[in-house]
Structure 1
């Protein structure tokens, strides 16, 4: 393999090579004949193909070390990496790595990176180039979005993937690749949305790419990105350059433009700092001490973008913020929330009256923003049983369902309509329904319960606890007065009803399945270990039938929504395996 310092007449794997469409081209020496370089090309192309087999052929595993990327072990050959990269040459000299079962050194990708991230797919593309000198096409599942009209020439997943490759190329000291990916990122700067230029500017700063830095700074300075967003996403040195450009630009356009009131800005910053500290009581105090309102401080926008979901709940609970307020850029709170892709905040805003149909100044709805930020790999990934739900899929599905459904009022309390004699029966029915939902639709049920505050009730706190935990409806606290007990039960009823209402609103197909099974008196089937052996056998047979009906319902929902161009949220989580010992209260 030739180094970049060798004559240009030879074929090189480094920066003197010209790479086009994933292949290596060669330069001819002015004094040499065509036959000699042609033989070099043929020989090196054959060598490239042979080395590629080390990566693609599972039967050719002669690797002597592992690099762990996103929890996945990637076998590598230290002699090849060391010969192609001075970073790896020094790494293998100095660090032996942690020994595995077969005494193979292991290196964790996160330990190798001083900044930035390199994902599994990006590392495979990088590794392929190291071995073969050929640049593979970017995998579509991680370099495109799920927006159905996007050209994928400058969407966020496309940009993020090249950013990862740039980090790998720079940190692992492959200057030829740095040059290639810098050109790609420069091409993105002119096409991308201003917000999507931020990750390009960050990688340019860390990798010290002066040309890319200059173009990104100019692009961001001309945009309407607010100073808070810049401070959250960029280094101080870069922010100062952007501010200087903006000040000069404003003076050139209108030298008489009034200056920003520093006291007003200071008060807004204090409110934001209080939100960062999760101190909504301090926010209330700051509001009372000044004429600043929550809307003037865009406090709800700020909380939706940067704070814990409970802070968003508390700010909304003050009743002082407009949930559909637009900030200086024309974004509603929901537009900001979907950029974060946190389902609980999105659903909370929708239940408080946020309009999913509102468009940004460039015509984007909340769901289109969310789709443009989501990779197919994340959208279509299957959640294993008992694991965390696919948040990307839930966010999109919730927003699409909201766009399709008829307008309806927010969730309201109905406990006052329940007669005392019916209260316990109503509670038992709702507890069975919600417990059943948690078993069959864990992701959707959890989201609905969080928004409805059902997880804070004593019954749900005890449901997942060990046997003997408190929270049973039939337990009697001798120190509890009838009025206190009645208040506690009505509070729990409100939380349960809100959970069911939210489930019907955002997960209607799941709710239809639940309705059918509740009618079949499913809870009795969870007592599989009671009764005679024949009765237990019958219960188990019926139990398996119902499990099959659940899977059929999933497939039916998926087929129906695929015809309409949408996807069922029920596919975001697999039904949990229901063991023979799992029980629901008997009605």
Structure 2
């Protein structure tokens, strides 16, 4: 018996030797070969590559069954799956699968999963591991977002793909991958926004990953995620645990629990339940029976997050909710809609004057939120005629189109791919607008500035920033975090926006002149001395027309202010200070006559 096995062993070593050194000369005996670990690695690597051909080479399609994932049949060899996964061994013994005409059994992945979701690409990566014992890199088209400035270390597509692989590894009983993906998901917990921790917590809960559950629960408990979201999106036992941790933390920090009016909370929850039932008439009745308002209940935020789009439309139709109201996390209703990615809701909000330029406390606009949630596969997916439209692409396109509009004419901002540029470009526009207002209409601008209580912010950079430099807007303070910088800029933007709003309210004709100037004339008037002599004459002519427009606007607003009882002295110096100009060599200089 020993003799019968020795030639086989010798042949195996000889064959492997040929593979490793490419020679076909006399073979050495097994006793003269070097120790085996390197040889084993080479042999296993070769075996892995050979088995991979069964998945990637169409000419090697010897599969004996199909598993249908997202409507796409994936050919599998049941013998390989059965020996690599106890789940498949038992499942194939128990379930024969539906047989097609070709005689191949067909299985549907939805029947294999008791909970969760595993997409086509995630299943292919998992299947490749079963065949080759090597984990392939995550496909970029499904594990990254379409924000070009995201590093993809904790965006939602990256998290979702890892979650899908965790589900596959746990349900199909591959413990080494479960351990690997638990470490990967633990790394996401500290980096992701708290809403994106929810899917990690769900997979940890279903896969009984105690360490991961503990980390996620602690992160959510320490966050400002509202209790309603916690209750709606998490299992009861997890939600109760988070509530207890928050109460304990409050006791430890303040030595007392902040009083909550139970009747107030009950009324808010009744409004939310009425929205869940799609009963807007009941919502109206509840509002009439109590002092609770839609804004106090954050009813529009709730409807946008959890209700049917038609309910959102009906709530908007009541005209009782502020579409730009912020919830406890600093999210406007449009921010919530961007997270949901439902085009009809986004359009409904925009038609009701929802502002696309509003930023979250960490500097995200609605369009940047939407981009961070969208995979390249979905964004670039082509829609055939008659098929359902690509919602991901529509949401981003609608919001970007809104961002490209006149910044102050539709509550939209200058388009920008980065959060930092969103802030700085918007700030630049507002500062230039206020600076020109102070030169054209100094007293009116000062009045709007004072009414808006904008005196708490530092002097505006204004025009100089528009001449190719952003002044100190991008100055770096090494002790200031990006979030702190965004908050500072956001405060400055709010003060400037209030100033512009006051100007629109009390000096509408002046505002119309500024609107047209900022939109049509500003780029040209900065370079009056540039161009051909004919172009320069045209620019100077337009400048004189602008001067006349300013004079007319001043007289209209002055007359209107007098009729409304405002002091006419508020504009006493406007005509003298702002209507007489001369053109300098470097552009426009404004000075008193």
TM superposition score category, shorter chain reference? 0.5 to 0.7
How many Å separate the matches in 2 of 1:309 and 1:149? 31
Find the counterpart in structure 2 of residue 190 from structure 1: 190
Gaps of 5+ in 2: 1-32, 412-593
Q: What SS class does the counterpart of residue 345 from structure 2 fall into?
A: helix
After superposition, the C-alpha distances for 1:273-326 in whole angstroms (9 at most, x for unaligned) are 000111000000001111100000000001111111111111111111001000
8 Å contact 2:170–2:178 — kept in the other structure?
Answer: yes
1:171 equivalent in alignment to 2:171: yes
Find the counterpart in structure 1 of residue 320 from structure 2: 320
Find the counterpart in structure 1 of residue 120 from structure 2: 120
After superposition, the C-alpha distances for 1:231-285 in whole angstroms (9 at most, x for unaligned) are 1211111111111110000111112342211111111000000001110000000
Find the counterpart in structure 2 of residue 42 from structure 1: 42
After the TM superposition, list the runs of 4 or more consecutive aligned residues in structure 1 that deviate by more than 4 angstroms.
Answer: 407-410
Superposed, 1:369-518 pairs within 5 Å as 369-406=369-406, 407-408=408-409
How many Å separate the matches in 2 of 1:188 and 1:35? 42
After superposition, the C-alpha distances for 1:96-144 in whole angstroms (9 at most, x for unaligned) are 0000111211100011100000000000000000000000000000000
How many Å separate the matches in 2 of 1:108 and 1:88? 13
After superposition, the C-alpha distances for 1:422-455 in whole angstroms (9 at most, x for unaligned) are xxxxxxxxxxxxxxxxxxxxxxxxxxxxxxxxxx
How many Å separate the matches in 2 of 1:210 and 1:160? 20
Structure 1 34/321 Cα, relative in aligned 2: closer, same or farther at 3 Å?
farther
Q: What SS class does the counterpart of residue 345 from structure 1 fall into?
A: helix
How many Å separate the matches in 2 of 1:190 and 1:326? 25
How many Å separate the matches in 2 of 1:331 and 1:295? 13
Find the counterpart in structure 2 of residue 61 from structure 1: 61
8 Å contact 2:169–2:177 — kept in the other structure?
Answer: yes
Q: CA deviation at 1:386?
A: 0.8
* Farther off after superposition, 250-259 or 162-171: 250-259
Find the counterpart in structure 2 of residue 107 from structure 1: 107
Find the counterpart in structure 1 of residue 302 from structure 2: 302
Q: What SS class does the counterpart of residue 173 from structure 1 fall into?
A: coil
What is the TM-score normalised by the length of structure 2? 0.63
Find the counterpart in structure 1 of residue 273 from structure 2: 273
How many Å separate the matches in 2 of 1:333 and 1:241? 28
Q: What SS class does the counterpart of residue 364 from structure 2 fall into?
A: coil
Superposed, 1:70-149 pairs within 5 Å as 70-149=70-149
Superposed, 1:156-305 pairs within 5 Å as 156-305=156-305
How many Å separate the matches in 2 of 1:294 and 1:34? 79
Q: What SS class does the counterpart of residue 63 from structure 1 fall into?
A: coil
Q: CA deviation at 1:408?
A: 4.6
Q: CA deviation at 1:353?
A: 0.5
Find the counterpart in structure 2 of residue 363 from structure 1: 363
How many Å separate the matches in 2 of 1:48 and 1:409? 59
Find the counterpart in structure 1 of residue 152 from structure 2: 152
How many Å separate the matches in 2 of 1:161 and 1:41? 30
Larger Rg: 2
Q: CA deviation at 1:393?
A: 0.4
Gaps of 5+ in 1: 1-32, 411-587
How many Å separate the matches in 1 of 2:94 and 2:345? 47
How many Å separate the matches in 1 of 2:229 and 2:366? 19
How many Å separate the matches in 2 of 1:162 and 1:409? 39
Q: What SS class does the counterpart of residue 397 from structure 2 fall into?
A: helix
Q: CA deviation at 1:191?
A: 1.1
Find the counterpart in structure 2 of residue 434 from structure 1: none
How many Å separate the matches in 1 of 2:297 and 2:386? 41
What is the TM-score normalised by the length of structure 1? 0.64
How many Å separate the matches in 2 of 1:154 and 1:317? 37
Q: CA deviation at 1:35?
A: 2.0
How many Å separate the matches in 2 of 1:268 and 1:337? 21
Q: What SS class does the counterpart of residue 67 from structure 1 fall into?
A: strand
How many Å separate the matches in 2 of 1:369 and 1:240? 29
